[in-house]
Amino acid sequence: MSNTLHDALFAPLATRETVLIERPGAAAVTGADFYRMARGAAGALISLGLQPGDRIAVQAPKSVEFLALYAGAVMAGVIFLPLNTAYTPAEVRYFVEDAGARLLVCDPKDAARLAEIASGAGAELHTLDGTGGGTLVDLFASDLARVVPRGPDDRAAFLYTSGTTGRSKGAMLTHDNLLSNAETLAEAWKFTDGDVLLHALPVFHTHGLFVATNVILATGGAMILLPKFDPDAVLAALPRATTMMGVPTFYTRLLDDPRFTRDLAGHMRLFVSGSAPLLAATHEAFEARTGHRILERYGMTETNMNTSNPYAGDRRAGTVGPPLPGVELRVMGPDGPLPSGEIGVIEVRGRNVFKGYWNMPEKTAEELRPDGWFITGDLGVQSEDGYVTIVGRGKDLIISGGLNVYPKEVEEAIDALPGVTESAVIGVPHPDFGEAVVAVVVADGTPDVAGPLAERLAKFKQPKHVSFVDELPRNTMGKVQKAALRETYKGLFAAT
């Protein structure tokens, strides 16, 4: 079996004349078309002077060319760093500088405001838009003499995940990390070359790029590539699909649309949900509407997927299923592994687990044990028959709409505002986003919080509600009791 991303996922496309990617309003793309485009992207990177192991940061809209750039980076031996399109220039600056990126690729509309950042970091700036245009695409005709040979332990991508201190960490993912997980998921979820995936996920995230895309590439299937989740577009494409991967928000919005019927979804083989907790009520409502039980799974930036409810078997609402084949999982207490039924910190080990944090040996040592066990920081419990339930997060991570929000970063931004004494940021249940960011603020009066944060933080990090209080609840040690705040505000977004 091939052991690099190019050999296993991309090389087989070179002679494939069947459709790989369908896209609304544009010509379909065959496997061979895509492979030629990817080779052009690789040639462009090499023509710009990038060497194996160099980093390319990409904050660009979703498109076939974006995916070809990912494949081209693999062919050129360049490390691919996708960035959320909602990140502000200040956030992009950190990622580009920390990664030491040689090239920054952005939407043409953002080129002017990112040019100084790229220049200051010593990176060249090129553009890529959502319709396949841009200065980088103009270079795709560059000739690729040969695919740069790489090994399974060579780094293929960086994905940044914030820490509770607010400083983002670059998780280093190898060819083997990504490929082994794609092959495991393809088998676990029974994907074949007859599958058509409805792909409405963002591609700056592991879910859309390294799960959805890689699984299709690993099995010879096809995908309907939508720029984003739009109910009209999803409902129009659904009859041509067999599978769909999404976040809970996708499914709650489909359930809100009367056009989403049992007949429309009847031919589908599989609906998968992840990246945020799926409410049991959503699971049950979806089954009642469609007859399908959503398959929920659990993964992380550092590991891709760790567990999954079974394809054939009991898909239990509120759980994320047993560990995937090849993934070891244990629930740890202060004195070691805990028996089933007891809550502790989840740790995982397997080929899917990343190789550490870029330029952060101390943080790597804190979270990745010498024997390969990764301390996820998530609190969970495992049943006697292996099903895992996530019950909380030791790091206070908020997952809103499938995107990670770390309270410390938002709190620091709020605390810096005039008139603010202190703040506590929590996640509370939200029927659409899974969790919503809520800020509880102690201040002199009620200063404007939303306005200043709009310029400092990506929209998904900005509080959906700000509450002003006289003081924050604390324990005897002076620590803010966020559990008490979550209890107080848990019904804030409850349906009325």
Residue 244 and residue 263 share a domain: yes
Residue 113 and residue 95 share a domain: yes
- By DSSP bridging, strand 124-127 and strand 420-430 are unpaired
Give the helix/strand (H/E) hosting 285. helix 280-290
Range of the domain at 211: 196-393
Q: How far apart are CA 100 and CA 122, in angstroms?
A: 8
- Tell me the HSE value of 496 on the side-chain side, using a 13 A CA sphere: 3
For residue 425, being part of any structural domain is answered with: yes
- By DSSP bridging, strand 304-308 and strand 336-337 are unpaired
Query: Is the CA virtual torsion 191, 196, 199, 205 positive or negative?
Result: positive
DSSP-based three-state secondary structure for 159: strand
Look-up: residue for tokens 């359930």?
255
Last residue of a domain, one of 374, 393, 412: 393
- By DSSP bridging, strand 403-405 and strand 398-400 are antiparallel
For position 396, what pLDDT does the model report? 76
Question: Is the distance from CB of 367 to CB of 356 less than 8 angstroms?
Answer: no
The domain spanning residue 478 has which CATH number? Answer: 3.30.300.30
For position 166, what pLDDT does the model report? 56
How many domains is the chain built from? 3
Residue 287 and residue 388 share a domain: yes
Dihedral angle over CA of 17, 20, 23, 28, nearest 10:
0
Average pLDDT, the chain: 93
The domain spanning residue 333 has which CATH number? Answer: 3.40.50.12780
* Tokens coding 443: 């201040």
For residue 165, being part of any structural domain is answered with: no
Residue 436 and residue 403 share a domain: yes
DSSP-based three-state secondary structure for 350: coil
* Tokens coding 453: 């944060």
The gap between the terminal CA atoms of the chain, to the nearest Å, is 54
Give the helix ranges, DSSP H, for 79-174: 89-99, 111-121
Q: Which amino acid type is present at position 143?
A: D
For residue 179, being part of any structural domain is answered with: no
Last residue of a domain, one of 340, 364, 393: 393
Query: Is the CA virtual torsion 242, 284, 250, 9 positive or negative?
Result: negative
Residue 293 and residue 265 share a domain: yes
Q: ∠ at Cα 399 (398, 405), nearest 5°?
A: 55
Residue 295 and residue 231 share a domain: yes
For residue 484, being part of any structural domain is answered with: yes
* Tokens coding 404: 């990670």
Q: How far apart are CA 58 and CA 68, in angstroms?
A: 12
Question: Is the distance from CB of 481 to CB of 473 less than 8 angstroms?
Answer: yes
Which of 153, 177, 174 shows the shortest CA–CA distance to 303?
A: 177
Q: How far apart are CA 222 and CA 220, in angstroms?
A: 7
Query: Which residues in the chain come in under a pLDDT of 70?
Result: 1-2, 162-166, 392-395, 475-479, 495-496
- Report the b/e string of 104-118 with b at 16+ CB within 10 A: bbbbbebbeebeebb
Q: 112 CB contacts (<8 Å, ≥6 apart)?
A: none
For residue 223, being part of any structural domain is answered with: yes
Residue 361, exposed/middle/buried by CB under 10 A (0-12, 13-18, 19+)? exposed
pLDDT per residue over 92-119, tens digit each?
A: 999 999 999 999 999 999 999 999 999 9
Residue 480 and residue 380 share a domain: no
pLDDT per residue over 147-161, tens digit each?
A: 999 999 999 999 998
Residue 77 and residue 39 share a domain: yes
For residue 158, being part of any structural domain is answered with: no
Q: How far apart are CA 233 and CA 237, in angstroms?
A: 6
Residue 402 and residue 386 share a domain: no
Give the helix/strand (H/E) hosting 379. strand 374-382
For residue 155, being part of any structural domain is answered with: no
For position 477, what pLDDT does the model report? 45
For position 117, what pLDDT does the model report? 96
For residue 495, being part of any structural domain is answered with: no
For position 162, what pLDDT does the model report? 57
Residue 77 and residue 211 share a domain: no
For position 304, what pLDDT does the model report? 95
Last residue of a domain, one of 135, 150, 165: 150
Residue 105 and residue 23 share a domain: yes
Residue 372 and residue 414 share a domain: no
